[in-house]
Amino acid sequence: MSVTFAAPAIVVLGRSALDTARRLRASLPKATLHGLTARVGDDVDVPFTELGAHLQSLYAQGTPIVALCAAGIVIRCVAPMLSNKGTEPPVLAVAEDGSAVVPLLGGLSGVNVLARQIARTLGIAPAITTSGELRFGTCVLNPPEGYVLADLAQSKHFVSDLLAGESVRIEGDAPWLRDADLPRASTAARTIRITPRIGDGDRETLVIHPRSLLVALTRADGVGAQQVRDMLSAQGLSALALAVLVAPLSLMGHAAIRTMAHELGVPLRFAAFDPAQVDDWLTTMLGSDVDIRHDERGMALALAGAPLDPTQIGRARGTLSVIGLGPGNAGLRVPEASAALAAATDILGYATYVAMAGPFRDDQTVHPTDNREELMRARHAFELACEGKHVVVVSSGDPGVFAMASAVLEALDLSDDPAWKAVDLRIVPGISAAMATAACAGAPLGHDFCMLSLSDNLKPWDIICERLRHAAQADLVMAFYNPISRARPWQLGEALDIVRQWRAPQTRVVLGRDIGRPGATLVNTTLGELRPEQVDMRTMVIIGSSTTRGIDGGPNGEWIYTPRWYGEAPGR
C-alpha cells in the first residue's frame, strides 16, 4: 500500500543522530535533513537555530516531521499548534540509534504508513497504537494512493462501530482491503462502497472514491475549474474521483489551465494528441472499454475501471530552476534553493558546484560539466525540462551574478522552440561572494559600490580598464570577481595600477578566500600593500572607497565598514 506524503523533514538535534537520519533520508523520497546549527553545524540540508519554532513552522506548512529525539520533546514543541483545526501532517519520533519509531500525530494523513516504512528501513517493529489499525491490520480511513475518502467526518463513526462489533460488506473493488482482517458478512448492515459516483454516505455506508476519472481539454477558452465540477456533477460523479487533467502539448504555456488544475487539486499532464481525435487517444491509452463522455466546451471525460496513475499519462510541464548555492555553507543557502534541489530530477552545473549541492538520491540524475560549457549546459537544461523533468542548474553565490542565470536566458533568447518558452523557468537568488565576504569583514559595501568581473574571457580587456577608471574616479567601493587565474596572470596587477591612480595607498582592502567553505580566510590590507600573489581565483577582492575605515573588534581584530553618509558626517 502506498500513500504519497509531502517530502518529510528529518530533524536531528545532535551529531549522534546523523547516521540514522541519513539512512532514513536515503529511503524516503525527497526527504530533507534538518539540524540544529549549534550542535550539527551546517552539515545538513536545512540548518535551524530553535527547535520549537522550526517544528511549528514545519507543522504549519503540513510537512511530515520525523524527529530523531525524545517523543516528549516533539510533543511539547508542536503542542501549541494542536488546537488549530486543519490538516495534521504525520509527526513521528524516532530513537536516535534507530531502535524505535513512534507515530505521534497524523493518523489520517498516513503516519502509520510512514512509521511502517521507517520501521522496515531500520529493521524494527513500529509502535502502532491505533486500535482500528491494530484490529483490522489496516487503517480503513487511510486508503492508499489512488483512493480518497468521500467524507472524513462521517467516516470516524464507521470505524468505531466496526470496533464495537458491527460487521461490514464491501461494494466495488478495494484491493487493499482484500487481506484486511475485517469482520465481513454478506448481510452486514455496514457497507464500504468504492465508487466514483457522488456518494450517499451515511452512518451505515463509508464511501471511498477511486481516482479513476480523467478530463481531457481540447481547447483553453471557456473552461475553468467550475466547468469541470459542473460537468462531473451533471454526470453524478464526485470531483474527488478526478485523477488528472490532460491537455494537448500546444497548451503547455497556458497559465489559465494551470490555475484550473491547481483549483481542482489534480496533476496537470500534457500529451501529444490531436484535439479533434481525443477519443482515439483516450481509448489507445485507457483501453477500448473506457467510458468517454463529452461536453459542449470540448472537454472529454473518461471513466476508467480503476484508479489512474497520473505519472503514466502524458508528461508534466517541465520546470527549470536556476539556483544559487550561496558561498558554500548550507546556512547561507536560501530555503527555496534547497527545496528546488529536493524536488529536482536532474541537476546540472560545473562539477565543483554540483558536488557542493549534493548529496543526491538514487532517483536524481547529476550532469556535471566543465566550467566553460555554459551555453551548452543551458540548452541541455531546456531539453531535459521539455521532457517534463524537474531540472536545476546550480551556480555558486547568486545565479545572476557572473553565473548561469544569464546563460540560461541567453539560450532561451537564441531559441525559437516554442516548447522552451513553455518551460516553467524560475531564478532563485543566492548570497553572492561579495555579500558573504563583506559580512565577514563588517560592512565595506555600506555605501555605493559596484561589482566587476576582471575576467577578459567574455569581454575585451580595454572595457575592463575603462570601467575600472570610471569606478575608481567615482570613488565607488569595488568588488572584484574572477580577479586572477593561471590563464590570466597579469590582469589583476594592471587593474590595481589603474585604481592606484585615483585612490590613496591607505585605501582599505578586504580579501575573502573560500568564504563559507572549509579553510576560509579573511585578510584586511591596504591598496598600497596588496600584491596579486595574495589573490587567487577563489578570492573576492573588495577595494574600499576614500571613506572606508576600520575599527577595533570583529572576528579578525578589526571591523571594516563604509559609512552610509558622504562628505560631512551628519550630526557627529
Binding site for ligand SAH (CB under 6 A): 327-328, 395-398, 401-403, 432-433, 437, 481-483, 512-517, 537-540
Residue nearest to ligand SAH (CB): 397
In the complex with ligand SAH, which residue's Cβ is closer, 132 or 429?
A: 429
CB atoms within 10 A of CB 139: 23
Torsion angle of the four alpha carbons 301, 306, 311, 313, in this order, in degrees rounded to the nearest 10: -40
Closer of 140 and 407 to ligand SAH (Cβ): 407
Q: Closest distance between ligand SAH and the C-beta of residue 149, in Å? A: 48
Instruction: Identify which of residues 74 and 427 has a Cβ nearer to ligand SAH in the complex.
Output: 427
522 forms beta bridges with 512
Q: How far is the CB of 427 from ligand SAH (least distance, A)?
A: 12
Closest distance to ligand SAH from the beta carbon of 215 (Å): 44
The smaller minimum CB distance to ligand SAH, of residues 133 and 374, is found at 374
Cell numbers found for residue 281: 487517444
21 vs 337 by CB, closer to ligand SAH: 337
What is the closest distance, in whole angstroms, from the C-beta atom of residue 527 to ligand SAH in the complex?
A: 18
Least distance to ligand SAH from the beta carbon of 404, Å? 8
- How far, in Å, CA of 530 to CA of 493, rounded? 10
Burial 273-290 (b: 16+ CB within 10 A, else e): bebeebeebbeebbeeeb
User: Which alpha helices (H) appear in 399-460, and where do they start and end?
Assistant: 404-414, 418-422, 433-441
- Smallest gap from Cβ 556 to ligand SAH, in A, equals 15
Tell me the closest approach of the beta carbon of residue 505 to ligand SAH, in angstroms. 23
Residues 6+ apart with CB under 8 A from 125: 119
Question: Toward ligand SAH, which CB reaches closer, 153 or 458?
Answer: 458
Question: Shortest Cβ distance from residue 68 to ligand SAH (Å)?
Answer: 31
CA distances in angstroms from 478 to 292, 493, 495, listed in the order given = 66, 15, 12
3-state secondary structure of 155: helix
CB nearer to ligand SAH: give 47 or 107: 47
444 vs 512, beta carbon nearer ligand SAH: 512
CA atoms in the 13 A half-sphere facing the CB of 316: 17
Specify the residue, 90 or 328, whose C-beta has the smaller distance to ligand SAH.
328
Residue number, 13 or 356, with CB nearest to ligand SAH: 356
∠ Cα 79 83 88 (to 5°): 80
Q: Is residue 343 within a helix (H) or strand (E), and if so which, with residue range?
A: helix 335-343
Q: In angstroms, what is the minimal distance from the CB of 329 to ligand SAH?
A: 9
**Least separation, in Å, of the C-beta of 407 and ligand SAH?**
11
Cβ 540 to ligand SAH shortest distance, Å: 4
- The smaller minimum CB distance to ligand SAH, of residues 142 and 437, is found at 437
Nearest distance, CB of residue 533 and ligand SAH, angstroms: 16
Kindly state the smallest distance separating residue 273's Cβ from ligand SAH, in Å. 42
CA distance 459 to 406: 15
**Least distance in Å: CB of 114 to ligand SAH?**
38
Collect all residues with Cβ–Cβ distance below 8 Å to 531 and sequence separation of at least 6.
Answer: none
Q: Tell whether the torsion through CA atoms of 473, 474, 477 and 482 is positive or negative.
A: negative
- 246 three-class SS: strand
Nearer to ligand SAH, 39 or 517 (CB): 517
Phi, psi torsion values for 434, nearest 5 degrees: -65, -40
CB closer to ligand SAH out of 166 and 336: 336
Task: Give the Cα-Cα-Cα angle 21, 26, 29 (nearest 5 degrees).
Answer: 110
What SS3 string covers 499-558? HHHHCCCCCEEEEEECCCCCCCEEEEEECCCCCHHHCCCCEEEEECCCCCEEEECCCCCE
Give every CB contact of residue 448 below 8 A, 6+ residues apart in sequence. 476, 477, 545
Nearest to 395 by CA among 462, 327, 339: 327
Cell 475485517 belongs to: 182
Q: What is the DSSP string of 69-137?
A: S-HHHHHHHHGGGTTS-S----EEEE-TTSS-EEEEE-TTTTHHHHHHHHHHHHTS------HHHHHHS
Kindly provide the residue ranges of all beta strands, DSSP E only, lying in 126-179, ordered along the sequence. 147-149, 168-171
The CA distance from 411 to 377, in Å, is: 9
Nearer to ligand SAH, 110 or 430 (CB): 430
